[in-house]
Amino acid sequence: MAGDIFNQLVDAHYTPLFRFALSLTKNSSDAGDLTQQTFFIWAKQGHALREAGKAKSWLFTTLYREFLRGRRRAERVTALEDLGPVEADPPAPAVDVVTGMDAGLVVEALQEVDEVYRAPLTLFYLQELSYKEIADLLEVPIGTVMSRLSRGKAQLRAALARKESGARGQVVPFDKTAARKLS
């Protein structure tokens, strides 16, 4: 019985959790690890949740906290070893984010948004969480969520504009006199 409930939980929430993790980590391998860690924690501690309807919020909160914990740990290790900046892994394969737009372009643009804005954007648009749910998950006031969404949208628009202009390329005028000299 408990195994069935766990399997249903994984089936219902794995993809949205993975997408959220991907938006945070910018790496599909790390996103998979973070998602699995979240379900592992659920397997150990999920029974303590009193309201079954709050499982989704609990999972997203747990994933976000694990991400922050892992990042703090990585920063300490880097500081201890006095390493230089590490190259980020290339963006993961595209996730169908916005119908009618090139998903890869949107995901790449989303990766350019500052992390503090990327998390609320992902939770609001991809996971369809309310302002209150996002505020609870990120442990910030609702007003902060609203301002981060506003600023994040502005950064995303700017990044998309840069990506789209780069994708179209530049028009190079055809020089007829130079073409005649070549023939």
* C-beta of residue 47 within 8 angstroms of C-beta of residue 59: no
Nearest alpha carbon to residue 108 among 126, 87, 92, 86 = 92
* C-beta of residue 7 within 8 angstroms of C-beta of residue 36: no
Structural domains of the chain in order of their starting residue, each with its CATH number = 1-93 (1.10.1740), 94-168 (1.10.10.10)
Three-state secondary structure call for residue 86? coil
Nearest alpha carbon to residue 23 among 72, 65, 67, 80 = 67
Nearest alpha carbon to residue 116 among 90, 139, 148, 142 = 148
Question: Going residue by residue through the chain (183 aa), what tens digit of pLDDT does each one get?
Answer: 566 777 888 888 899 899 988 888 888 888 899 999 888 888 888 777 777 778 888 888 889 888 888 877 776 655 545 444 444 434 443 333 344 456 667 777 888 888 888 888 888 877 778 888 888 888 889 889 889 888 988 888 888 888 777 655 544 455 555 545 554
What is the Cα–Cα distance from 99 to 103, expressed in whole angstroms?
Answer: 8
Q: What is the pTM of this model?
A: 0.51
Q: What integer pLDDT is reported at residue 124 of this predicted model?
A: 83
> In this structure, which long-range contacts are made by residues 62-66, counting pairs with CB atoms below 8 Å and at least 24 apart in sequence?
62/38, 63/17, 63/20, 63/21, 63/34, 63/35, 63/37, 63/38, 64/20, 64/24, 64/119, 64/137, 64/138, 66/34, 66/37, 66/38, 66/41
Q: Determine how many CB atoms are found less than 10 A away from the CB of residue 160.
A: 19
